[in-house]
Amino acid sequence: MSEAAARDTAQDNLIEIRDLVFRRGNRLIFDGLSMNVPRGGITALMGPSGCGKTTLLRIIGGQIRPDAGSVLVRGEEVTALTRGELLELRRDIGMLFQTSALFTDMSVFENVAFPLREHTELPEDTIRDLVLLKLNAVGLRGARDLMPSQLSGGMSRRVALARAIALDPCLLMYDEPFTGQDPISMGVVVTLIRRLNGALGATSLLVSHDIHETTGISDTIYILDQGKVVAGGQPSELANHASPRVRQFITGSPDGPVPFHYPADELAYDLLGGALA
């Protein structure tokens, strides 16, 4: 690839991961994983439980260092950043945690104001206006004085989203945003992810097991399995993928290349022969 072509690719992708290797103890989580996250779109990470999706978010954010490979965010090699440079990068990343992770002793307003007070020197009247704007964007401006204990699960997720966008990040990362949501709350979160991504001009990276919601809002989906990307493309492409394993995951079939039964002896042997052995 020429130098000019490499620059064009970097401009098209907010995140570029090459040959990523990561072990947790004796277990190999990533074995040469490579992928790109295009700027301005919504990219989803999917795959079986335990395949490392949340771990990958933590590596991108610099919370975990891989054993080998390259992780570029905004053209910066995350694995080579100093502590100060990592903090600067994280200011440009909004994170929606699976548990919402609101500060329980702070009001809704104070939760959303927290990153603004921590990372900027803006005057309080400006912070107030920004917090109200972010809460209005998620439909909860009227809940600004409530405490987290007074919020429903769906409302907590929306407050956490308002906090995640407080600094107008270029990258929004979502860890299982639909988990535990009723159909109405889930529909609200789905709409907000798509709407906020466009309004902020941001790039979104989404981890989820919810096939229907994820395929409905994602521009690109990567399926992770056995330490690598086993499939990637638009949702419509994956539904007709050549790999039976990928098709089984997308359709949610209970049996296929990933069997319903864990390996075991024949049932008759267990019931009869095994008992007599």
* 88-135 residue pLDDT tens: 999 999 998 878 889 999 999 999 999 999 989 999 999 999 999 999
Residue at 82 is within a domain: yes
In degrees, rounded to 5, the angle at the alpha carbon of residue 126 between the alpha carbons of residues 125 and 129 is 90
Residue at 229 is within a domain: yes
Residue at 191 is within a domain: yes
Q: How far is CA 43 from CA 80, 194, 205, 216, 267, in A?
A: 25, 11, 5, 12, 43
CB of 226 closer than 8 Å to CB of 48? no
Q: What gap in Å lies between CA 122 and CA 113, rounded to an integer?
A: 11
Q: Which residues contact 229 (CB under 8 A, 6 or more apart)?
A: 33, 34, 35, 222, 223
Question: Which CATH number is 142's domain given?
Answer: 3.40.50.300
Strand-pairing partners, residue 7, are none
Residue at 257 is within a domain: no
Which amino acid, 36?
N
Residue at 202 is within a domain: yes
* 191-221 residue pLDDT tens: 889 988 988 899 999 998 888 888 889 999 9
Is the whole model's pTM more than 0.85, yes or no? no
pLDDT at 8 over 60: no
Residue at 211 is within a domain: yes
Query: So what's the pLDDT on residue 229?
Result: 92
Query: So what's the pLDDT on residue 181?
Result: 79
Residue at 36 is within a domain: yes
Query: So what's the pLDDT on residue 18?
Result: 97
pLDDT at 224 over 70: yes
Q: What gap in Å lies between CA 255 and CA 275, rounded to an integer?
A: 28
pLDDT at 39 over 90: yes
Q: What gap in Å lies between CA 4 and CA 22, rounded to an integer?
A: 31
Residue at 187 is within a domain: yes
What is the band of 37 on the pLDDT scale with cuts at 50, 70, 90?
Answer: very high
What is the band of 4 on the pLDDT scale with cuts at 50, 70, 90?
Answer: very low
Q: What gap in Å lies between CA 203 and CA 215, rounded to an integer?
A: 16
Range of the domain at 52: 3-251
| Number of structural domains the chain divides into | 1
